[in-house]
Amino acid sequence: MNFLGNIIWLIFGGFLAALGYFIGGLVLCVTIVGIPFGIQCFKLAGLMLFPFGKRVVNTAGASGCFNLFANIIWIFCGGIYTALNHLFWAVLLSITIVGIPFAKQHLKLLEISLIPFGKKVIEN
């Protein structure tokens, strides 16, 4: 079921969204200061490609000072926009029974796109 969900996800926008995160990560990695943020974009791109069969968990050292500071910067520099985008699609997709599994994936992406530092993506 995860394989089929990932294929449908890729066809209906997952690939283009992952490409956007990947290009954003490349742009951020041009500067030394942007490298940690670029790495988070690459993490989001990987999850955006194949969200079914994966989950987001907190890492052991997720309460560090750097993670807090970086998450605050992330939220104000685009995290709110991406989270609201995923929330919009989750609400829209949850209207139909067929869209509910895809709405769940958008809610998973909402969590990590709002606060990516201190989170890790693992296989189910």
Separation CA 108–CA 112 (nearest Å): 7
Residues of the chain with confidence (pLDDT) below 70: 61-63
For residue 78, the enclosing domain spans 2-123
pLDDT digits (tens, 9 = 90+) for 20-30: 999 999 999 99
pLDDT at 26: 96
CA 81 from centroid of its chain's CA atoms: 12
Is the Cβ–Cβ distance between 74 and 115 less than 8 Å? yes
Q: What is the pTM of this model?
A: 0.87
**pLDDT at residue 1 in the model:** 81
At 63 the pLDDT is 67
- Quote the pLDDT of residue 27: 95
What is the predicted pLDDT for the residue at 18?
94
Count: domains in the chain: 1
> Given this model, what pLDDT does residue 105 score?
94
